[in-house]
């Protein structure tokens, strides 16, 4: 039986959130509807930075992938009295309206608050009284091992710790998104060795190559856990 047949001939939809150049997004674009990520399509790429090259990658994909932009500071300026949590909630609404089977944070450099998780989890409406019928799983790619170097600049911090003899290796993981930063249940974990005398640029390059693989593998793993909902057109 083919992968498509095993999935009930249904296509799974993915929303990807980005902030930068989109190399992790590109790995997903290249993998969609291939044996690496069968019966799956990215239906929206949302960025919190207007100049993010990942938006160009999405627009230049074949076929082009719809994009959206919502920056925190422009949102707050345009909506006096609104808060960061209101912004997170609005991001959740944009995502929920796309009705994805999965949300992937692929270099999304903004810590999500309760507003986002409440909307995609079905605890708050996203459009009038409309709520998601089933919580939408959200996963994140983080360039560190579970419990190590949570938050920003994980690669630099791991490299520095290696130089001090505090660690022997680092790694990358795909994990579920929860309220605590980078503390959600790991979906996939890969160790990456740091070589003695290796410049940080070389270590970073090897780690990114691992990230491009596990973001695809983790996306497929989580998609395969849930029942797809959108028939192939």
Instruction: Look at residue 179 in the predicted model and tell me its pLDDT.
Output: 74
Instruction: Look at residue 2 in the predicted model and tell me its pLDDT.
Output: 40
SS3 readout for 23-38: HHHHHHHHHECECCEC
Instruction: Look at residue 232 in the predicted model and tell me its pLDDT.
Output: 38
Give the predicted TM-score (pTM) of the model.
0.90
Instruction: Look at residue 9 in the predicted model and tell me its pLDDT.
Output: 57
Q: What is the mean pLDDT of each run of 10 residues along the chain (233 residues)?
A: 48 97 97 96 98 97 97 97 96 97 95 92 92 95 91 92 94 89 85 95 96 97 73 37
Strands 40-47 and 138-142: unpaired
Task: Give the architecture-level CATH label for domain 12-226.
Answer: 3-Layer(aba) Sandwich (3.40)
The C-alpha torsion from 68 through 175 and 157 to 112, rounded to 10°, is: 40
Local structure of residue 98 (DSSP, 8 states) = T
Instruction: Look at residue 182 in the predicted model and tell me its pLDDT.
Output: 60
Catalytic residues: 142
Mean pLDDT, rounded, of the chain? 91
129-160 residues labelled b (16+ CB within 10 A) or e (exposed): eebbeeebbbbbbbbbbeebbeeeebbebbbe
Count the helices and strands in the chain (H runs, E runs).
8, 8
Residues 152-192: pLDDT tens digits? 899 999 999 999 999 999 999 999 998 766 678 999 999 99
Q: What is the end-to-end Cα distance of the chain in Å, rounded?
A: 20
Instruction: Look at residue 33 in the predicted model and tell me its pLDDT.
Output: 93
Report residue 48 as tokens: 């919190």
């Amino acid at each position: 039986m083919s992968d498509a047949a095993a999935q009930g001939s249904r296509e799974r939809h993915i929303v990807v959130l980005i902030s930068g150049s989109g190399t992790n997004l590109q790995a997903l674009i290249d993998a969609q509807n291939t044996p690496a990520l069968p019966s799956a399509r990215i239906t929206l790429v949302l960025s919190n930075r207007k100049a993010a090259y990942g938006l160009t990658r999405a627009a230049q994909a074949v076929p082009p992938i719809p994009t959206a932009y919502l920056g925190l500071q422009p949102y707050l300026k345009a909506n006096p009295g609104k808060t960061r949590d209101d912004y997170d909630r609005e991001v959740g609404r944009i995502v929920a309206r796309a009705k994805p089977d999965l949300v992937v944070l692929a270099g999304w450099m903004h810590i999500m608050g309760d507003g986002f998780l409440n909307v995609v989890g079905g605890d708050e409406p996203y459009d009038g009284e409309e709520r998601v019928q089933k919580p939408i799983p959200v996963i994140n790619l983080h360039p560190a091992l579970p419990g190590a170097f949570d938050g920003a600049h994980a690669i630099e911090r791991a490299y520095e710790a290696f130089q001090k003899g505090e660690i022997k290796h680092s790694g990358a993981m795909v994990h579920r998104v929860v309220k605590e930063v980078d503390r959600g249940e790991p979906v996939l974990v890969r160790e990456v060795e740091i070589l003695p005398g290796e410049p940080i640029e070389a270590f970073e390059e090897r780690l990114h190559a691992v990230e491009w693989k596990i973001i695809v593998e983790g996306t497929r793993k989580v998609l395969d856990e849930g029942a797809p909902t959108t028939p192939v057109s």
